[in-house]
Chains A and B, each alone.
Chain A
Amino acid sequence: MFEAQELAGERGGRIVFAAVSFVLAPGGALLLTGPNGAGKTSLLRVLAGLGQVADGALLWDGRPALEDRIAHASRLALVGHQDALKPALTVAETLGHEARIIGGDAGAALAALELEGLADHPVRILSAGQRRRVALARLVLGAARPLWLLDEPTVALDVAGVATLGRVLAGHRARGGMVVASSHLALPLDDATELRLAA
């Protein structure tokens, strides 16, 4: 159970969102919407333990989630708006290195995002959508982590890529995982609770 109570976050000394409350049960999904600058990315960073909490509380199973940031980090996987990929490495090398750092099975991650055909390609030559898929493959590496945080995950993805992401997200939720995603586009998330942030 992941819960926010009257959460407010700041960035550069300015409050960017305030009074955010939600309860997310295992298998649940939360969709963050709102205009540009409403604080969606900042909220996701706070949920990941990277941002600054100005007020309120974040609870995991009823206990303060950010008390132990390492423990909190170990239960989440994050796909930010940056892909965090190294152009010099191939797709297979990228996921192999990631698997050694965060755990998981690189082969399964390649297969889940339909990246087998690109395995030997250096990230440098990939298109934006293909890079996004590699970034999303991190989620499959972190499949054992219950909380997935996604910032505009479908940007640059084609229709097939969105459908693939939908299957991966549905599989995660079926195993009892939770998803928090922000998006301006339609996300392949069934019956997600919508949380609208005001500008």
Chain B
Amino acid sequence: MRAMFGLIRKDLALARRNAGDTLAAVAFFLLACGLFPFGVGPDPNVLARIAPGVVWVAALLAALLPLDRLLGADYDDGTLDQLLVSGLHPAAIAAAKAATHWLATALPLLLAAPAGAIMLNLPIGAIPALVAALALGMGVLSLLGTAGAALTLGARRGGVLLPLLVLPLAIPALIFGAAAVEAATLGLPVRPHLAMLAAMLAAALPLAPLAAGAALRSAAE
């Protein structure tokens, strides 16, 4: 457990040193949200209607950006071999990477989400529900994304394969996440949707690192 936190600490230090990656994801997210009013027109009612889905999709896509380097950099420079002989269980390595992705990419996106939502005229009252839903949904995406990144290690054009693998699996989180925000705008209870997201997170939490760990081991062979 100590070694796993050591790994998270190292990767967060690296993420802080290479802060451009995080900034790129946040800038991509804000830009994607900002493009929609140009595309669909400035009608505030239309924007407010599509805001929950747009913010969610933009956040999902932005969170995918750093995924292929999350493990790819370690695979290329030999760090992955060192981690596999460190005595850490491969699933623990994967769990640490997922935690790093959540902290270094998902968390900044959560902080930027209110800004994106306001650009799309989402009612202020729905923003707490949006952030809560994104916090859970991004956890699911971090875990699925780590598994996807581990599976595509060493594959040619793995960066292209990765979204094709991960995005379909993220659809349930998108449905319930956007529904939670929509329920908040309509004054309906949000909690059932958040509970569904939490259930997905609870399922992915043990399963995704195990799958990713097995993929890491076979990538090293």
**Which chain A residue has the least Cβ–Cβ distance from B218?**
A52
Q: A-B contact count, CB below 8 Å? A: 74
Are A89 and B9 in contact, CB atoms less than 8 angstroms apart?
no
**Is the beta-carbon distance between A50 and B85 smaller than 8 angstroms?**
yes
Other than the given A49-B85, A82-B77, A82-B81, 19 more pairs (CB < 8 A) read A50-B84, A50-B85, A70-B89, A73-B84, A73-B85, A73-B87, A73-B88, A74-B87, A78-B82, A81-B78, A83-B77, A85-B77, A86-B77, A89-B14, A100-B5, A100-B6, A101-B86, A102-B86, A102-B87
B81 touches A101 (CB 8 A): no
Residues in A neighbouring B87, C-beta threshold 8 A: 70, 73-74, 102
Number of interface residues of B (CB under 8 A): 26
Contacts of B91-128 to chain A: CB distance below 8 A:
none
Chain B, range 131-190, C-beta contacts under 8 Å to A: none
Question: Contact at A138–B221, with CB atoms within 8 Å?
Answer: no
Chain A residues near B6: list those with CB within 8 A.
97, 100-101
A69 CB to nearest B CB, Å = 8
Asked if A76 is at the interface of the complex by the 8 Å CB criterion, the answer is yes
Interface set of A (CB-CB < 8 Å, partner B): 45, 48-52, 69-70, 73-74, 76-78, 80-86, 88-89, 93, 97, 100-103, 138
Is A101's CB under 8 angstroms from B10's CB?
A: yes
Could you tell me if A89 and B2 are in contact, using CB atoms closer than 8 angstroms? Answer: no
* CB <8 Å contact, B221 and A84: no
What are 13 A-B contacts with C-beta separation under 8 Å? Answer: A73-B85, A73-B88, A74-B87, A76-B85, A84-B81, A84-B82, A88-B17, A88-B18, A97-B6, A97-B9, A100-B9, A101-B10, A101-B88
Point out the residues of chain B lying under 8 angstroms from A49, CB to CB: 84-85
A78 to B85, CA, bound (A): 7
Closest Cβ–Cβ distance, residue B216 to chain A (whole Å): 11
Bound CA–CA A84/B221 (angstroms): 17
- B92 — nearest CB in chain A belongs to which residue? A70
A93 to B10, CA, bound (A): 9
Which secondary structure characterizes the binding site on chain B?
Answer: helix
B199 within 8 A of A: no
Say yes or no: is B31 at the interface (Cβ < 8 Å to chain A).
Answer: no
The contact string, 1 if C-beta is below 8 Å from chain A, for chain B 1-19, is: 0110111011001100110
Tell me the bound Cα distance from A24 to B87 in angstroms: 22
B79 at the interface (CB under 8 A from A): yes
- A82: B residues at CB distance < 8 A: 77-78, 81
CA distance A98 to B83 in the complex (A): 10
Alpha-carbon separation in the docked complex, A76 to B84 (Å): 11
B220 CB within 8 Å of chain A? yes
Question: Which residue on chain B has the smallest CB distance to residue A94?
Answer: B10
CA distance A74 to B89 in the complex (A): 10
